[in-house]
Amino acid sequence: MKALKVIAVLFLLAASAPSRTASAQETRVRWFGHAAFSVTTPGGKVLLIDPWLKNPSNPEAGEGKDALASVPKVDYILLTHGHRDHVGDAVEIARKTGAVLVSNPELAANLVKLADFPAKQAQTDAVMGIGGEIQIAGGEVTVMMTPAVHSSSVFNPKAGPGEADRAYGGNPAGFVLVVRNGPTIYHSGDTAYFKDMETIGEEYQVDLALLNIGGHFGMGPRMAARAAKAVRARLAVPQHYATFPGIAENPNEFAAELKTLKIPFREPRPGETLSFRGRQLLAR
Ligand SMILES: [Zn+2]
């Protein structure tokens, strides 16, 4: 009987070992609402894109809650452009976590000068420009900065009376992230549709496209679906909607368009995580 128990325990240990290894090889993409996502690599590095974590869609934000508590470890903060709904809580998170900034040089410099972003974390090789390709996370992630048709300015809390409260934020951008042993992810930033998005689809195998669908300030649902097609997304996920007045309230029209284009679609709830093993989305 005792021997049987030992065998059973050994069997359980053997059975659980591979699944532990497998989960360590997963890439986890979590949506916080609006344009804010975290990407946790198989190696355990955490990238935050456009971290407005205190946005009203985030279930972990709001009265009496600490929205930043859900990201105790952040290695990199990637900013598509300087608008407040994208810079969000970047300065506070950078101070708390020591995360390094990935953005264009003008935005990096002005965040340091005007918003007290920690200088050392904004003056590294991770400052880059559109068309550039860099490696971060010890080479585990390759980051390409892609064009975006939008604007970019950075809020200047130090502006005096008679001074503009928006400073130059460099060119707006999107990102392609190639995760080693993980998916290739495209975050479109706050762009309009542009036909050269097709180049992204030609150059990269986009497993996951995180597309702004809100309209008004950028592409709306119909053109966002066209963007999914242009970048040849294996899976399209909507972002930048239902957060403030004037932008799309839900992704229904986007979903309907994707259906006609036969592009797979997921609509995560804010706070939800999509997990990938290799390039493959894991079922919930
Ligand atoms: Zn925006």
Residue 21 backbone phi and psi in degrees, to 5: -60, -45
Residue 283, pLDDT score: 87
pLDDT, mean of residues 1-11: 55
Give residue 55 CA to ligand 1 midpoint distance, Å. Answer: 11
Give residue 35 CA to ligand 1 midpoint distance, Å. Answer: 7
Give residue 37 CA to ligand 1 midpoint distance, Å. Answer: 14
Residue 20, pLDDT score: 46
**What is d(CA 184, CA 125) in angstroms, rounded to the nearest whole number?**
22
143 in helix, strand or coil? Answer: strand
pLDDT, mean of residues 155-171: 94
Give residue 202 CA to ligand 1 midpoint distance, Å. Answer: 26
Q: How many residues does the chain have?
A: 284
Give residue 191 CA to ligand 1 midpoint distance, Å. Answer: 9
Residue 68, pLDDT score: 96
Residue 7, pLDDT score: 55
Give residue 12 CA to ligand 1 midpoint distance, Å. Answer: 49
- Give the list of residues 6+ apart from residue 173 with CB closer than 8 angstroms, or none: 80, 81, 104, 130, 145, 146, 147, 148, 189
Give residue 86 CA to ligand 1 midpoint distance, Å. Answer: 6
Nearest CA-CA partner of 33 in 94, 89, 72:
89
pTM: 0.91
pLDDT, mean of residues 28-54: 98
Give residue 240 CA to ligand 1 midpoint distance, Å. Answer: 7
Looking at per-residue pLDDT, the higher value among 273 and 18 belongs to 273
pLDDT, mean of residues 184-192: 98
Give residue 150 CA to ligand 1 midpoint distance, Å. Answer: 9
pLDDT digits (tens, 9 = 90+) for 115-151: 999 999 999 999 999 999 999 999 999 999 999 999 9
